[in-house]
Amino acid sequence: MSELSSSPPLLQVDDLIVRYPVKKGLLQPRKHVHAVNGVSFTVRRGETLALVGESGCGKTTVGRSIMRLVRPSSGAIRVDGIDVASLSRRQLKPYRRKIQMVFQDPYASLNPRMTAGEIIGEPLGNFGIAHGADRESRIMSLLERVGLGRSHFHRYPHEFSGGQRQRLGIARALAVEPSLIVGDEPLSALDVSVQAQIVNLLDHLQQEFGLSYLFIAHDLAVVQQISHRVAVMYLGRIVEIGETADIFRAPIHPYTQALLAAVPLPDPRKRRTIEPLRGEVPSPISPPSGCAFHPRCPLAEDRCRREVPRAQEFQAGHFAACHVMARNNQYAALQPVTA
C-alpha cells in the first residue's frame, strides 16, 4: 500500500442520515426506514477505508450517498472541504469527476449495447477531457493499465468474462482521473482467483495514481489484505473504526468480535473463543432504543437499552461505541479472536 498523506482528508462525512419513507394506509402514521443513522468518518489521500457489516446494515447506502445517487436526509459530505450533500445537479458535475464508483455486478453496470471503447470513452466526452485521436489513445492506455488489451476495444460486455468486465468498470472509473473510488463490493461476484488479481490491480493503481478507496465489502479476508483502516457498521451506525491491524488483532465492540468470530478458520484444530451471533438483525423501520445491538449482545445491560453509546477512543485512532467496554476499560484484556 502507498504511504498515507498527512494533508487534510479528501473525504469527510459528518452525521450522515438517510431515511426512506414507507407508504402506509390513509389513517396510518407515516414511518421511515432508518437506513443510515448518524455516520461520520474520513478518508485520507492515498488511503483505503473498508466499510464492513452484515447485509442491510446501510453500507451500500453510505456509498451511494457519497456518490449522490441517493440524496441524504441530513448531514454533511465534504470533498476537499466543499459540502456536496446539498449541491444541485448542475453543481455536482465537477464533483462527480473527483469521485467515481465501481459497482458490485460487473455485467449489470455496463451498457450491453456499447463496446468497451465506447464505455470508457463516454466519460471522456461528457467531461470534455479528450476527443478524436487523443480520446482513442487514452482509451487504449486505460485498457492496458487494467490488464486488458487493444483487441478488446471493439468487444461488447457479453464477450468478456466476469473478471474482465470488472476490469472494464475500473477503467471507466479511471477515465476521468478521480481522486476517490467507491467500490461497492466489487469482488463479491468474482471467483477467488480473479478476486486476487483485482485486489493486486487496485493496489497497483493506488500506488501509481495516489488513489483513495472506500471499499464496501463483507469478505473480511479481502478487507484485511487491502485496507488501511476498517469501519464496522451495524443497523445504520458505525460501532467501531480503527487501523486494520488493530481491528483484527483486538476488536473492542462485541459486534466486531462476533463478526470476526464468524470467519472460518483454515485449521480445524483451532477453535473460536467467542460464540457466533444469535438472533436476527432488528428492522430498520423500528430500530431498538439505545444501542441498536443490545438485543443480540451478551454484555447488554440496562443502560444499553436506554442510551445510544457515543464513540470513544480506546487507543490512538481506535474508536468504539460501547457502554460496557468503555466503563470496564477491557481493551487491554481482549484476546485476538483468531487465536
Q: Does residue 67 fall inside a structural domain?
A: yes
The HSE-up count of residue 205 (CA atoms within 13 Å, CB side) is 28
What are 134-178's pLDDT values in tens digits? Answer: 999 999 999 999 999 889 999 999 999 989 999 999 999 999 999
More confident residue, 275 or 150: 150
Instruction: Identify any residues that bridge with 240 across adjacent strands, giving them in sequence order.
Output: 232, 320
Residue 175 sits in a domain whose CATH number is 3.40.50.300
The pLDDT confidence band at residue 215, using thresholds 50, 70 and 90, is: very high
Nearest-angstrom CA–CA distance, 311 and 238: 9
Q: Does residue 246 fall inside a structural domain?
A: yes
Nearest-angstrom CA–CA distance, 246 and 24: 45
Q: Does residue 3 fall inside a structural domain?
A: no
Instruction: Identify any residues that bridge with 76 across adjacent strands, giving them in sequence order.
Output: 14
Q: Does residue 234 fall inside a structural domain?
A: yes
The HSE-up count of residue 168 (CA atoms within 13 Å, CB side) is 33
Nearest-angstrom CA–CA distance, 97 and 101: 11
What are 89-136's pLDDT values in tens digits? Answer: 888 888 889 999 999 888 899 999 999 999 999 999 988 898 888 999
Q: Does residue 216 fall inside a structural domain?
A: yes
Q: Does residue 15 fall inside a structural domain?
A: yes
Cell numbers describing residue 199: 485486489
The count of domains in the chain is: 1
Contact predicate 186/103, CB 8 Å: yes
Amino acid identity at 6: S
The pLDDT confidence band at residue 273, using thresholds 50, 70 and 90, is: low
The pLDDT confidence band at residue 337, using thresholds 50, 70 and 90, is: very low
Please state, in angstroms and as integers, the Cα–Cα distance from residue 44 to each residue in 2, 39, 210, following that order.
12, 17, 11
Burial label, 77 (beta-carbon count in 10 A; 0-12, 13-18, 19+):
buried
Nearest-angstrom CA–CA distance, 157 and 162: 9
What are 239-271's pLDDT values in tens digits? Answer: 999 999 999 999 999 999 988 888 877 777 777
Q: Does residue 338 fall inside a structural domain?
A: no
Cell numbers describing residue 338: 483468531
| Phi, psi for 148 (deg, rounded to 5) | -105, 180
- Tell me the mean pLDDT in the region 181-190: 89
Please state, in angstroms and as integers, the Cα–Cα distance from residue 329 to each residue in 214, 253, 273, 315, 319, following that order.
30, 12, 20, 11, 13
Q: Angle at Cα 319 formed by Cα 318 and Cα 320, nearest 5°?
A: 130
The pLDDT confidence band at residue 232, using thresholds 50, 70 and 90, is: very high
pLDDT value at 4 more than 60: no
Nearest-angstrom CA–CA distance, 70 and 180: 18
Q: How many residues does the chain have?
A: 339
Q: Does residue 5 fall inside a structural domain?
A: no
User: What is the domain extent for residue 318?
Assistant: 11-333
Cell numbers describing residue 261: 468470530
- Whole-number percent of the chain with pLDDT over 70: 92
3-state class of 204 per DSSP?
helix
DSSP assigned state of 57: S
pTM of this structure: 0.89
Q: Among 135, 128, 119, 56, which residue's Cα sits nearest to residue 93? A: 128
